[in-house]
Amino acid sequence: MNKKVLVLSSSPRRGGNSDLLCDQFISGAIESGNEAEKIFLRDKKINYCTGCGICIDRKGKCSQKDDMTEVLNKMVEADVIVMATPVYFYTMCGQMKTLIDRSCSRYTEISNKHFYFIVTAADNNQSAIERTIEEFRGFTYCLDEPEEKGIICGVGAWNKGEIKGLPAMEEAYEMGKAV
Ligand SMILES: Cc1cc2nc3c(=O)[nH]c(=O)nc-3n(C[C@H](O)[C@H](O)[C@H](O)COP(=O)(O)O)c2cc1C
């Protein structure tokens, strides 16, 4: 109740399978009285981290001026962060990895958050998402007191919208509701 939920939807396919699961999660979270916002990363300009190291010297100030400033503010302010990606070549998609790398300037402030991961894949086997989940854990491993609260496994969905007939839709709603 009354948590600030930030959903980071990284698929380039708006209304695609992971994006639909994000919407389900949000519906559930709002239903139980939380505040929820989705950022569709493709709408944002987020450049690659250049590894310049300026953020280390300038304590949290990135040398680049793009939409990552706004996204990072929201990540720092959120109670709950939901990270959603399609599986691309058995890893996360590039948009999500780019966002993670760009958290470099302020990742030490992303502390005491609850995390949920949403992953979709064409492969029917649950193991298809394992490497991607481990990649997310590589990110949260670097944070202060993260709590991994849930994983939505949207396997067996290739075409846009195919997730609609699968149990992950209800699971995402229920997980959002219980946030
Ligand atoms: C570039 C690319 C690579 C993909 N690689 C895999 C893969 O390695 N394993 C798999 O099961 N599905 C793979 N897929 C299928 C997507 O994971 C699947 O269609 C997923 O539902 C897409 O989610 P979205 O609609 O949220 O983008 C790939 C799709 C694309 C476009």
Atom of ligand 1 nearest to the CA of 121: 17
Residues with CB under 6 A from ligand 1: 11, 13, 16-19, 86-90, 120-123, 128, 157-158, 160
- Pair 3, 34: CB distance under 8 Å: yes
CB atoms within 10 A of CB 179: 23
**Whose Cα sits closest to atom 5 in ligand 1?**
88
Q: pLDDT truncated to tens, each residue of the chain (179 aa)?
A: 799 999 999 999 999 999 999 999 999 999 999 999 999 999 999 999 999 999 988 888 999 999 999 999 999 999 999 999 999 999 999 999 999 999 999 999 999 999 999 999 999 999 999 999 999 999 999 999 999 999 999 999 999 999 999 999 999 999 999 99
Return the structure tokens found at 42.
């493709």
Distance 33 CA to ligand 1 centre (A): 33
